[in-house]
Structure formats: C-alpha cells, structure tokens
Structure 1
C-alpha cells in the first residue's frame, strides 16, 4: 500500500481512534466514560500532531482516515488469507 506521506505514529493513532470508536459503539454502559476519554485523548493527539503544522485541511484529515481504513482492511485480509 502506498503511504501518502503520513508519519507512522499519526497513522497508528488513527488506527487506535478507529478501534476505540468501534468499541464504544458496542460496549456496556459502564465502559462509556473510559472509551470516550480514550477517543478524546487520541483526537487531540491526531489534531495537534506536528504533521498538520503547515497543511491542516479537511481534505488531509479525510485522506488520513481513508488511508487508515484501507490499511486496516489490508491487514485483516492478510491475516485471513
């Protein structure tokens, strides 16, 4: 998969954000607060990452999310095969 120029730690944080979001959608009520804090923490790490210092744009954020989703699907397919 082609890396569109995102640092590895930024992609990892986006992966973690996606995972926490999916967990929040399916969790028990007593887990909501912990997962919401995790999402908030990861959102801040992603939003204020040095990568965005000069090129912060909605299109860039959308590209990061798309890249992270494609990467996760590719990893899943590799494990299944």
Structure 2
C-alpha cells in the first residue's frame, strides 16, 4: 500500500471528524446541532486543505488512505482511553 506524506493538521482534522461522527452516531447523542456544525467545519477544512493541490494529494487513493489512517488512529485511541 502506498504511503502519503499527510500533514499533521490534515490527519488530526480527519481524526476529529471521525470522533465527532462516532459521537453523533451514538444512541441518543447530546448536542446534535453542535456536532453537526463541527462535522461541517471539519469537512470544509479537510476538503480545501492545501495538501490536495500537491502531486501526492492529486492521487485519488490519497483520500482513501487518509480516511483509513484516521479511522485506525481513532480506534487505537478509543482502545487506550
């Protein structure tokens, strides 16, 4: 599998997106409006990040790899928490 040089802020934003999504998907979530706004803000930050303008970011597989990495990191953090 190809490795991409993701900037830390992009990876952290995607991890935060997954965390907010998990919280919103939980049974009877609290503060749903705030969570939805957070997801929207993070989605915009991820979508328009300058990394996607670089040669590495133009590869379609980069978005899938970012999603996989962030999800994996979030699962590791959830297990240790």
Partners of 1:33 and 1:58 in 2: CA distance: 31
Partner of 2:14: 14
Partner of 2:69: 67
Q: Which runs of 5+ in 2 are unaligned?
A: none
The alignment covers a number of residue pairs equal to 75
Task: Provide the TM-score with structure 1 as the length reference.
Answer: 0.76
When the two chains are superposed, the root-mean-square deviation of aligned CA atoms in Å is 2.0
CA, structure 1 residues 75+34, in 2 after alignment: closer, same or farther (shift >3 Å)?
closer
Q: Which runs of 5+ in 1 are unaligned?
A: none
Structure with bigger helix share is: 1
Task: Provide the TM-score with structure 2 as the length reference.
Answer: 0.76
